[in-house]
Copies of this chain bind each other. A is one copy, B any other.
Amino acid sequence: MPNQANVRPELSALIARKDLAALKKYLDPWLPADLAPMAAELSVEELAVLFRVGSRELGAAVFTYLPIEGQKKLLKLLTQEQSAALLNALPPDDRTSFLNELPLDVAMQLLSMLTPDERQVAQSLLAYPEHSVGRMMTLDYVAVHPDWTVRQALDYIREHGYDRETLNVVFVVDDAGHLLDDIRVRRLLLSPLDRPISELLDGNYTMLLPQDDREKALEIFRKFDRVALPVTDEQRKLIGIVTVDDMLDVASEEATEDIQKMGGSEALDEPYTTIPLLRMVKKRASWLVVLFLGEMLTATAMSYFEDEIAKAVVLALFVPLVISSGGNAGSQAATLVIRALALGEFRLRDWWRVMRRELAAGTMLGLILGVIGFLRIAAWSLFSNIYGPHWLLVATSVGVSLTGIVLWGSLMGSMLPLLLKRLGLDPATSSAPFVATLVDVTGLIIYFSVAMMIMRGVLL
Contacts and interface: CB of A to CB of B under 8 A. Distances in A.
A281 interface: yes
13 contacts: A1-B204, A4-B204, A259-B339, A260-B339, A262-B335, A263-B335, A264-B335, A272-B345, A287-B332, A289-B368, A292-B321, A306-B314, A320-B440
Contacts of A227: 168, 227, 244-245
Contacts of A203: 1-2
A30 interface: yes
A332 B264 contact: yes
Number of copies: 2
Contacts of A42: none
A21 interface: no
A165 to B, nearest CB: 10
Contacts of A324: 291, 295, 298, 324, 327, 436-437, 440
A325 interface: yes
Contacts of A432: 263, 331, 432
A206 interface: yes
Contacts of A189: 154, 157-158, 161, 167, 185
A235 to B, nearest CB: 15
A207 to B, nearest CB: 10
Contact of A320 (B167, B255, B444): B444
Pairs A-B, 4 closest by C-beta atoms? A263-B335, A1-B203, A255-B255, A298-B320
A345 B273 contact: yes
Interface in A239-275: 244-245, 247-249, 251-252, 255-256, 258-260, 262-265, 268, 271-273
Interface in A369-386: 369, 372-373, 376, 386
What band does the interface of chain A fall in when counting residues whose beta carbon is under 8 Å from B?
A: 35 or more
A357 interface: yes
A295 B191 CA distance: 67
A417 to B, nearest CB: 12
A348 interface: no
A119 interface: no
B320 A365 contact: no
Say whether chain A's binding surface is mostly helix, strand, loop, or mixed. helix
B295 A34 contact: no
A364 interface: yes
Nearest to A409: B288
Nearest to A31: B202
A373 B292 contact: yes
Given A273-B345, A291-B328, A292-B369, 5 more contacts: A164-B186, A185-B185, A263-B331, A292-B373, A295-B325
Interface string A288-305: 110111011011001100
A72 interface: no
A145 interface: no
A228 to B, nearest CB: 10
A352 interface: no
Interface stretch (A8-16, A44-52, A79-87, A216-224): A216-224
A190 B357 CA distance: 57
Contacts of A361: 277, 280-281, 284
A276 B157 CA distance: 52
A292 B372 contact: yes
A117 interface: no
A187 B332 CA distance: 50
Nearest to A204: B34
Contacts of A364: 281, 285
